[in-house]
């Protein structure tokens, strides 16, 4: 066995004159100067295995990127449904088949464009949807049996799913043939992004309704994308992102199983969405550890038999937090490094951020550079040639093990509180994240952590960049459309279908049918959301600070 102590004593210490320097990564894992075979204790078959085989540490597909590159999925959506329809058609004409839609804040919070709360926010961070009519316009002349649509929608995901179903129905496409994903991960909303309508139990019950309904009626619909992205952006470390996200995932698995679904009937449809941040090796270890934990738990704890239930499929987005408004062109480099970590970590799809996003919504030029970054990595660097190229690196294997070990500590703490929902309601998870975020900022302020252009190599005078200028008239347009819809719809039918939904919410029956009915009758997003607000009430989070 090589003797690390001897090396330290005889070679390292004289060289550094005994000045040991402690280094840690974002997950507070202490890093030594070097790792060797003495630091890892791997049973190859059990801990790593081959790609496409349990426990999938090295990748979920046998040929990974040789067979097919990751999907370069750039997320967009803005303004009015007409604007977005044009944009989607343009993407389709360029050969894209996977659409990815962003919604504006009022839509995400279940308010119509004419709500007082929506003023100034309509169409700003995504497209506005106030009723079925808006969805009809977004997908006008887009055959829903030919595309797959990813919708970044959470609290009102049941309503948007219902709208998509009716748009399909009107095109003559039955719901069995609809293919797509809604994010619908409400647990991470309470943890991080904070876009909810009702208390956690109510939203979990609505997710249950979607899971049960979709499992039975929509075989190609991914009704949940379990997201660590926002948890990380809110300030979590890599290990916290992974641990809290997997804990959320297991909670959804339990929810399905408790409601009579066979684990293998729905688990293959669960997918994940992670962040890739700037500490290259730590991120790669995170992705590998996440795959191994998910596979083992799904098999051993939840009794999955189908290997697809054990495969952690994930989308990745590079870190928005690491982008600086100082010297913004430097962000291109940060994004490239983060993208590399995601690819080496085995992601299935990737969104790269644009360099100007600390200033504004991205300009067209910045989006193009972000996409080109992925293409350069894919076609010029050789990154796609060999699967899990860092597997077997002592450091990476050590970190992978260590991240797994640290994640289990969080699982045990969360279990001791009675599960994720309780750990959210008592504020534990939110406080852990806020504490990490604050400690990290303190390390930046002290200069211990360096950020180029911010606390190192800063410039007195920044050279300006051109950013996207928004001139939206979306608000007026959307308000007018709500008036038009209300003038022509059958009010009696609307009232009755909302009553039916109220009854469904008050009882324990599956609410999806009633939501679909209300949508079909052109009840608006806010009217439908309000039924839930009446029945379930709102939610105020515990004090975090």
Partner 1 sequence: MEGTYDNMNRRIRVLVAKPALDGHDRGVLMLAKALRDAGMEVLYAGLLPTPEMVAKIAVDEDVDVVALSLHNSAHMTAFPEVKKWLEKLGAKDIQIVGGGIIPPEDREKLEAMGITGNYGPGTPLNVIIDHIKKAAKKKWEMESGSV
Residues forming contacts to partner 1 in the complex (CB under 8 A) are 105-106, 108-109, 111, 116-121, 124-125, 189, 193-195, 233-235, 321, 323-326, 357-361, 434, 437-438, 441, 444-445, 451, 454-455, 464, 467, 469-470, 540-541, 544-545
Residue placing its CB nearer to partner 1 in the complex, 233 or 283? 233
CB of 544 to partner 1, least distance (A): 6
Q: Which backbone phi and psi does 205 adopt, to 5 degrees? A: -70, -40
| Chain position carrying tokens 């660590």 | 228
Residue placing its CB nearer to partner 1 in the complex, 107 or 400? 107
State how far the Cα of 147 lies from the Cα of 141, in Å rounded to an integer.
12
What are the tokens at 237? Answer: 């470390």
For 171-185, b/e burial (b = at least 16 CB within 10 A) is bebebeebbbbbbbb
Q: Which alpha helices (H) appear in 447-490, and where do they start and end?
A: 474-488
Q: Which backbone phi and psi does 483 adopt, to 5 degrees? A: -60, -45
Q: Are 411 and 294 in contact (CB under 8 A)?
A: no
Residue placing its CB nearer to partner 1 in the complex, 189 or 517? 189
Half-sphere exposure of 41 (CA within 13 A, CB side): 1
State how far the Cα of 165 lies from the Cα of 176, in Å rounded to an integer.
10
- DSSP strand E in 131-270: where? 148-152, 179-182, 221-222, 225-227
What are the tokens at 447? Answer: 């200069």
Residue placing its CB nearer to partner 1 in the complex, 127 or 361? 361
Residue placing its CB nearer to partner 1 in the complex, 195 or 404? 195
CB of 493 to partner 1, least distance (A): 30
CB of 325 to partner 1, least distance (A): 4
What are the tokens at 368? Answer: 């193009």
CB of 528 to partner 1, least distance (A): 18
CB of 265 to partner 1, least distance (A): 33
Which of these, 266, 272, 368, lies nearest to 317 by C-alpha position?
272
Residue placing its CB nearer to partner 1 in the complex, 274 or 395? 274
CB of 366 to partner 1, least distance (A): 13
State how far the Cα of 250 lies from the Cα of 242, in Å rounded to an integer.
12
State how far the Cα of 337 lies from the Cα of 295, in Å rounded to an integer.
27
Contacts of 63 (CB under 8 A, 6+ apart): 51, 52, 387
Which of these, 525, 518, 440, lies nearest to 236 by C-alpha position?
440
Beta bridge partners of 102: 152
Residue placing its CB nearer to partner 1 in the complex, 108 or 531? 108
Residue 14, judged by CB atoms within 10 A of its CB (0-12, 13-18, 19+), counts as exposed
State how far the Cα of 482 lies from the Cα of 486, in Å rounded to an integer.
6
What are the tokens at 149? Answer: 């649509």
Residue placing its CB nearer to partner 1 in the complex, 16 or 544? 544
Residue placing its CB nearer to partner 1 in the complex, 44 or 438? 438
Residue placing its CB nearer to partner 1 in the complex, 236 or 344? 236
Residue placing its CB nearer to partner 1 in the complex, 321 or 428? 321
CB of 477 to partner 1, least distance (A): 17
CB of 425 to partner 1, least distance (A): 15
Distances (CA, A) of 254 to 314, 411, 458, 488: 20, 15, 50, 44
CB of 465 to partner 1, least distance (A): 9
CB of 443 to partner 1, least distance (A): 12
CB of 467 to partner 1, least distance (A): 5
């Amino acid at each position: 066995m090589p003797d690390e102590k001897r090396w330290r004593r005889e070679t390292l210490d004289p060289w550094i004159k005994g000045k040991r320097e402690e280094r840690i990564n974002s997950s507070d894992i202490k890093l030594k100067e070097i790792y060797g075979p003495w630091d890892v204790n791997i049973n190859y078959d059990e801990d790593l295995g081959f790609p496409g085989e349990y426990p999938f540490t090295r990748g979920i597909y046998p040929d990974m990127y040789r067979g097919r590159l990751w999907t370069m999925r750039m997320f967009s959506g803005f303004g009015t449904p007409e604007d977005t329809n044009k944009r989607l058609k343009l993407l389709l004409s360029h050969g894209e088949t996977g659409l990815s839609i962003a919604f504006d804040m009022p839509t995400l919070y279940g308010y119509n464009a004419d709500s007082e709360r929506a003023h100034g926010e309509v169409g700003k961070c995504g497209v506005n949807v106030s009723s079925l009519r808006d969805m009809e316009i977004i997908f006008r002349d887009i055959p829903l049996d030919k595309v797959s649509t990813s919708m970044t929608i959470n609290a009102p995901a049941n309503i948007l799913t219902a709208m998509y179903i009716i748009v399909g129905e009107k095109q003559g496409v039955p719901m069995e043939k609809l293919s797509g994903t809604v994010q619908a991960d409400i647990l991470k909303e309470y943890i991080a992004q904070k876009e909810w309508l009702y208390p956690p139990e109510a939203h979990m019950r609505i997710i249950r309704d979607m899971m049960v309904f979709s499992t039975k009626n929509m075989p190609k619909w991914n009704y949940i994308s379990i997201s660590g992205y926002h948890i990380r952006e809110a300030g979590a470390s890599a290990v916290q992102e992974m641990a809290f996200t997997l804990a959320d995932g297991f909670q959804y698995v339990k929810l399905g199983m408790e409601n009579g679904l066979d684990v293998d009937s729905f688990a293959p449809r669960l997918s994940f969405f992670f962040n890739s941040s700037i500490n290259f090796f730590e991120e790669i270890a995170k992705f590998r550890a996440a795959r191994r934990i998910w596979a083992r738990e799904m098999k051993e704890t939840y009794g999955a038999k189908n290997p697809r239930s054990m495969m952690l499929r994930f989308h990745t987005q590079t870190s928005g937090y690491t982008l600086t408004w100082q010297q913004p062109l430097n962000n291109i480099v940060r994004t490239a490094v983060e993208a590399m970590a995601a690819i080496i970590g085995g992601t299935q799809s990737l969104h790269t951020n644009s360099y100007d996003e600390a200033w504004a919504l991205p300009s067209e030029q910045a989006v193009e550079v972000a996409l080109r970054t992925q293409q350069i990595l894919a076609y010029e660097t050789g990154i796609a040639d060999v699967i899990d190229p860092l597997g077997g690196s002592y450091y990476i294997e050590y970190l992978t093990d260590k991240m797994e070990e640290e994640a289990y500590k969080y699982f045990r703490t969360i279990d001791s509180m009675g599960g994720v929902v309780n750990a959210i309601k008592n504020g534990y998870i939110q406080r852990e994240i806020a504490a990490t975020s604050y400690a990290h900022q303190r390390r930046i302020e002290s200069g211990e952590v360096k950020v180029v252009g911010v606390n190192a190599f800063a410039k007195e005078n920044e050279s300006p960049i051109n950013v996207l200028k928004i001139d939206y008239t979306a608000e007026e347009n959307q308000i007018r459309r709500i008036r038009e819809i209300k003038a022509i719809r059958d009010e009696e039918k609307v009232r009755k279908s909302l009553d039916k939904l109220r009854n469904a919410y008050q009882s324990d029956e599956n609410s999806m049918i009633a939501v679909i009915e209300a949508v079909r009758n052109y009840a608006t997003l806010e009217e439908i959301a309000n039924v839930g607000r009446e029945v379930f009430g709102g939610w105020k989070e515990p004090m975090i600070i």
